Amino acid sequence: MARIVEFLADGFEEVEAVTPIDYLRRAGVEVVVAGVGTMTPTGAHGLRIAADVDAASLSGEFDGVVLPGGMPGASNLAGSKDVERVCKEVSMKGGLVAAICAAPAVALDHFGLLTGRRFTCYPGFEKSVNDAEFSGEKVVVDGNLITSRGPGTAAFFASAIVRYLVGKKASESLEKDTLLV
C-alpha cells in the first residue's frame, strides 16, 4: 500500500486539502496528515482539521507528498524547512510530488522542484515562476510531478494522484463512485 503525507498549514484551501485525503483513502492509500506549526491547522475559510502528526516529528518513508494551496497556506508551507526537506527527499527518490493552486508556484518553485518541469497553478501565480513551462490545463502530470489549478479542479487533481499511485482501474472506479465522470 502506498503511503502519502499531506501537509496542512494555517490558511490552506479546504477543498484542495480534503478532496485528496478522501479520494486517496477511498482508494486504499495510507494518508498521513501533517500539521505545519500546529496540530489543528485552520483553513482559509475557517475549517479546522486535526492533523495526525506534527510536521517537525515526521519519520519514515513516504511514496508521495501532497501540498494544498490557499493563501497564506501555500506561503506557510514554503516557509517550512520540514515541508521542504520531505518534498526534496520524496522527489529525489522518484516519489510523487503533487501540489495544487498556489502551492506549485509558491512552495514547489521555492524548493527548486519546478525547474525544467511542466506545471500548472492558480491563474496569475505562474508569473512568478522562472525556468519551468506553464500549462493552462486543469491538471498537469510531468513524470512524478502532478500539479493542478485550484479549488474547482480538486477532484481531477485527486483522481490523477489515485491514477498515478494505484492505477487507472482504481481511478475510474473512484470517478464513477464520486460522479466525476
This prediction's pTM:
0.93
Domain that holds residue 70: 3-170
177 assigned to some structural domain: no
C-alpha–C-alpha distance, residues 161 and 141, integer Å: 9
Nearest to 137 by CA among 126, 121, 114, 113: 121
When divided into structural domains, the chain yields a total of 1
pLDDT of residue 60: 84
CATH, residue 128: 3.40.50.880
Question: How does 142-157 read in b/e, with b if 16+ C-beta sit within 10 Å?
Answer: bebbbbbbbbebbbbb
110 assigned to some structural domain: yes
Active site residues: 101
25 assigned to some structural domain: yes
Question: How does 29-53 read in b/e, with b if 16+ C-beta sit within 10 Å?
Answer: bebbbbbbeeeebbbbeeeebebee
pLDDT of residue 69: 97
Report which residue type is found at 168: K
C-alpha–C-alpha distance, residues 150 and 69, integer Å: 7
pLDDT of residue 181: 56
Which residues of the chain fall short of a pLDDT of 50? none
Q: Is residue 83 within a helix (H) or strand (E), and if so which, with residue range?
A: helix 81-92
